[in-house]
Amino acid sequence: MFKKILIANRGEIALRVIRTCREMGIRTVAVYSTADAESLHVRFADEAVCIGPPASKDSYLKVQRILAAAEITNAEAIHPGYGFLAENAEFSRICQEHNIKFIGPSPEMIGAMGDKSTAKDNMIKFGVPVVPGSDGTISDLKEAEAIAKDIGYPVIIKATAGGGGRGMRIVKEPADFKRMFDSARSEAGSAFGNPEVYVEKFIENPRHVEFQILGDRHGYITHLGERDCSMQRRHQKILEESPSPVMEPELREKMGQAAIRAAETVQYEGAGTVEFLVDKDLNFYFMEMNTRIQVEHPVTEEVTFTDLIRYQIEVAAGAPLSRKPFKMRGHAIECRINAEDPAHNFRPSAGKIDVFHVPGGRSVRVDTHVYSGYRVPPFYDSMIAKLIVSGSNRTEAIARMKRALEEFIIEGIKTTIPYHIQLMDDPTFISGDFNTHFLEKQFKFIPKDTP
């Protein structure tokens, strides 16, 4: 087992990794920008190395500085968390070359899954269901229009290098196709340096359901059930839960096996997530595979009684996974608490937190790096805490979440807590019958007593 791990990240996920390392008796090295000197990941790590000024590109994305920090502290492995360098093939390769174990995907796995059209083609070869569409990418307009006509409108054009909705266009009718095709290609070109797009049938009102996967070096791959991430706004997840309200044992078995096959296409090692779209008839389609630990991993931990970071570290060290299937029990929900003002179009709200009181009680978990007196820096993403609750069923979990949100006191900055409190009372959320468009098209947040 590793004696020392460097955590190439900040915020709650850096702290999350440090916590597991401490429980495993592994020493930790934090890296931080000058804006994060007062963050808890710096305080709770055994050692900390300042790697530069606030801007991510000058600190958390500086490969050479992070490697230098690992070398001077004799760290044997690097955990990248999520975001920053977590899915950077170059960083993964350079770690390999410096004999530092990257606790994440190999450059090959990042390459195979990072290109969405290639990933989709591999899925077809391995019998994983995908949305009907073009065979690979297409650059010829006439050819693309013919395919769109063939699969039937509406269609969606997607950037092969994309993700998170960029370079994506929904086309309702043939008259719009040329304009959308050109703009998708040009947006993809400037955003990703790769204009290639592919076309597929647009699935109306889908749910986003993703499976947590673990693979070991010995070729064994298993899943830990699903998370429903349909509660999104502008491609940002707001709330996640496990199990999915639409899941039944038979569907879980089918989707779980498809997710395992998806991971097998690249002999996946480590923790990963296979995303599916699920339509109203519960047909499911592979979307993409994320080769990292995700923000929402705690809901899986709470229903499977596991520590996913521990598994990541163990399989990176070469340990085999147990062949016993994971069991799920109860229901868990996570609300992302962002330093944003939901009354003003979610504008960022950085600044000093005067009071930070976290909820407690049974089955309530708060993953956060902040505390009373902490200053939220304006340079990074706005998530300041994750509130995760569990219960024996969904109804109990919702009631507990509402109670915990009401106990959460954050003064000095605006947060998304009031938005989540209203969501807990929404009949559509409570019914479990919602899709990825619900938050933007249906849910209306009504600000209370804000000037």
Which residues are known catalytic residues? 292
What DSSP string runs through 29-54?
EEEEEGGGTTSHHHHHSSEEEEEESS
Q: Does 197 bind ligand MV4 (CB under 6 A)?
A: no
3-state secondary structure of 211: strand
State the pairing for strand pair 155-159/351-352. unpaired
**Residue 184 Cβ, how far from ligand MV4 at the closest point, in Å?**
13
State the pairing for strand pair 221-233/77-79. unpaired
**Residue 17 Cβ, how far from ligand MV4 at the closest point, in Å?**
26
Select 140 or 440, whichever has its Cβ closest to ligand MV4: 440
Per DSSP, helices labelled H in 116-216 are 116-125, 141-151, 177-192
Q: Among all residues, whose Cβ is closest to ligand MV4? A: 436
**Residue 372 Cβ, how far from ligand MV4 at the closest point, in Å?**
35
Select 48 or 277, whichever has its Cβ closest to ligand MV4: 277
Per DSSP, helices labelled H in 265-356 are 297-304, 308-316
**What gap in Å lies between CA 228 and CA 27, rounded to an integer?**
34
What are phi and psi for residue 177, nearest 5 degrees?
Answer: -60, -50
**What gap in Å lies between CA 231 and CA 296, rounded to an integer?**
12
Q: Using CB under 6 A, which of 36, 145, 200, 210 touches ligand MV4?
A: 200
Select 165 or 360, whichever has its Cβ closest to ligand MV4: 165
The total of other beta-carbon atoms located within 10 Å of residue 118's CB is 15
Q: Does 235 bind ligand MV4 (CB under 6 A)?
A: yes
Window contacting ligand MV4 (CB under 6 A); options: 11-19, 20-28, 195-203, 251-259: 195-203
Select 166 or 402, whichever has its Cβ closest to ligand MV4: 166
Q: Does 165 bind ligand MV4 (CB under 6 A)?
A: yes
- Contact criterion met (CB below 8 Å) for 163 and 192: no
**What gap in Å lies between CA 301 and CA 242, rounded to an integer?**
10
**Residue 435 Cβ, how far from ligand MV4 at the closest point, in Å?**
9
Q: Using CB under 6 A, which of 203, 335, 383, 424 touches ligand MV4?
A: 203
Residue with tokens 């069923």: 393
**Residue 278 Cβ, how far from ligand MV4 at the closest point, in Å?**
10
Select 201 or 402, whichever has its Cβ closest to ligand MV4: 201
Residue 285: DSSP 8-state = E
**Centroid of chain to Cα 255:** 19
Q: Does 202 bind ligand MV4 (CB under 6 A)?
A: yes
Window contacting ligand MV4 (CB under 6 A); options: 48-56, 197-205, 332-340, 391-399: 197-205
**Centroid of chain to Cα 23:** 24
Half-sphere exposure of 83 (CA within 13 A, CB side): 13
Q: How far is CA 268 from CA 204, 336, 369, in A?
A: 31, 28, 31
**What gap in Å lies between CA 250 and CA 236, rounded to an integer?**
29
**Residue 318 Cβ, how far from ligand MV4 at the closest point, in Å?**
33
Q: Does 329 bind ligand MV4 (CB under 6 A)?
A: no
What residues between 119 and 158 interact with ligand MV4 by CB under 6 A?
131, 156
Select 32 or 198, whichever has its Cβ closest to ligand MV4: 198
Mark 76-115 with x for binding to ligand MV4 (rule: CB under 6 A) and - for no binding. ----------------------------------------
User: Number of residues in contact with ligand MV4, rule: CB under 6 A?
Assistant: 14
Select 115 or 200, whichever has its Cβ closest to ligand MV4: 200
3-state secondary structure of 225: strand
Q: Which residues pair with 341 in a beta bridge?
A: 347
Q: Using CB under 6 A, which of 59, 117, 232, 312 touches ligand MV4?
A: 232
**What gap in Å lies between CA 269 and CA 247, rounded to an integer?**
26
**Residue 448 Cβ, how far from ligand MV4 at the closest point, in Å?**
28
Select 162 or 412, whichever has its Cβ closest to ligand MV4: 162
Q: Would you call the peptide bond into 154 cis, given omega within 30 degrees of 0 as the criterion?
A: yes
What residues between 285 and 324 interact with ligand MV4 by CB under 6 A?
287
Window contacting ligand MV4 (CB under 6 A); options: 60-68, 141-149, 198-206, 251-259: 198-206
Residues that bind ligand MV4 (CB under 6 A): 131, 156, 165, 200-203, 206, 208, 232, 235, 277, 287, 436
